[in-house]
Amino acid sequence: MRGKDVRLEGVAITYPNGFTAVQPTDLRIEAGEFFSILGPSGCGKTTILRAVSGFVEPSAGRILIGDEDQRGKGPNARPTALIFQNLALFPLMPVWENVAFGLEARGLSRRARRDKAQELLELVALPEQADKKPGELSGGQRQRVAIARALAVEPAVLLLDEPLSALDLKLRQHMRAELRAIQQKTGVTFIYITHDQGEALTMSDRVAVMNKGVIEQVGSTDDIYSAPHSAFVASFVGEVNQFAGRIVESFGAMAQIETAHGRLLGRNPARLAKGTAAILFVRPEQVGFGARFNNCFDARLLRRDLEGAFVNYQIETSTGAHLSLHQTNTGAVPVTVGEPCHVGFDSGAGLLLPEGPVARTGAEVAAQ
């Protein structure tokens, strides 16, 4: 099997009722890449997958797979296969026949189909399960059967639409590693859709973050987390503390923002000018106890949650801002709940971005 690249050139998708689910989009997914599209429910992820797989035609622009324009080609004529959350395995057929289902139409003998199914079951780490019925397998195993079936027709591009969301947390985490391994073994291009940032960050080579029909940023997982370009990306990917305000002083790569919780200093990669409405973002793992920081608050510890290797602290500043602070668990208890303390962060840990819509998830904040 070999992956192909997928290009969207000016692709916009408007449904027959007039609703534009995907605004004009340019995107290039490399051959053999594990690429995720991450965004909240309703932002247009499934609509993009439907267009790539041929179930809907773009209203504008074109889709190329391995340089070939896909316009007018139905799902069966495209080098793609699709996997959904609710997989439809045939309950009365043994696992191997489920896997080989798409091969009968290609004229393969029963023997050849059985061999091919066995090969694929080995690939998805289910070599012993060929003769069982789907009902005798666990949820994660059934999901792997569905992946084997999708790979049986040797697609160049596998489209996965929130395939793990029906599984419980432990299984989901285990399946992340499985999916990544399958992708690397096959070299097939994976386009993986999810609203779960943990999934996108752990599995992907690159991620596109989408909101309201617009891809806001495409980048490596590190870029998306550490160098978000917009307030939405900063707040949707990972937990983050936020301080809204106005830029009062700008000097080169740094700037000062006036907020309801005082003046704070942060990085200003977008070179926002004095007077601009902005938000300063700081990750909980960048906030610390003590008064040594150049952004510092008088505060009080509200709660301490031990998560094993990590400890999460909820803090309230004297100005009423709520902050999350995450530390690795060293065994030390720096502050007791209810006691006054100082917390802060260095200016290099603060990121200033233009004011804009923020995601609902993430830390509850000190807006205004």
Ligand X SMILES: Nc1ncnc2c1ncn2[C@@H]1O[C@H](COP(=O)(O)OP(=O)(O)O)[C@@H](O)[C@H]1O
Which C-beta is closer to ligand X: that of 211 or that of 286? 211
Stretch binding ligand X (CB under 6 A), from 14-22, 69-77, 307-315, 343-351: 14-22
Angle formed at CA 92 by CA 133 and CA 89, multiple of 5 degrees: 75
Main-chain phi, psi angles of 126, to 5 degrees: -130, 45
CB of 16 vs ligand X, minimal distance in Å: 7
**Window 32 to 91, contacts with ligand X (CB under 6 A):** 39, 41-47
Which C-beta is closer to ligand X: that of 46 or that of 186? 46
Helix axis angle, 110-123 relative to 139-152, nearest 10°? 130
| Long-range contacts, stretch 135-138, CB < 8 angstroms, 24+ apart | 135/91, 137/95, 138/171
Which C-beta is closer to Mg ion: that of 46 or that of 189? 46
CB of 192 vs ligand X, minimal distance in Å: 12
Candidate list 6, 8, 11, 21; residue touching ligand X; CB under 6 A? 21
Q: Are strands 80-83 and 68-69 parallel, antiparallel or unpaired?
A: unpaired
Which C-beta is closer to Mg ion: that of 50 or that of 283? 50
**Window 42 to 101, contacts with Mg ion (CB under 5 A):** 46
Pair 118, 100: CB distance under 8 Å: no
Q: 131 in the Ramachandran plot: left (φ > 0), alpha (ψ -120 to 50) or beta?
A: alpha
Which C-beta is closer to Mg ion: that of 84 or that of 101? 84
Which are the contacts of 343, defined by CB distance < 8 A and separation ≥ 6? Answer: 287, 288, 289, 290, 296, 297, 299, 315, 317, 323, 325
CA dihedral of residues 111, 114, 115, 120 (deg, nearest 10): 160
CB of 36 vs ligand X, minimal distance in Å: 12
CA distance 273 to 276: 6
Q: Which of ligand X, Mg ion, none has residue 310 at its interface (CB below 5 to 8 Å by kind)?
A: none
Q: Which of Mg ion, ligand X, none has residue 43 at its interface (CB below 5 to 8 Å by kind)?
A: ligand X
**# chain residues binding Mg ion, by CB under 5 A:** 1
Task: Work out whether 19 is an interface residue with ligand X (CB under 6 A).
Answer: yes
**# chain residues binding ligand X, by CB under 6 A:** 12
Which C-beta is closer to ligand X: that of 3 or that of 213? 213
Q: Which of Mg ion, ligand X, none has residue 15 at its interface (CB below 5 to 8 Å by kind)?
A: ligand X
Q: 125 is written with which tokens? A: 């780490």
**Residue numbers at the binding site for ligand X (CB under 6 A):** 15, 17, 19, 21, 39, 41-47
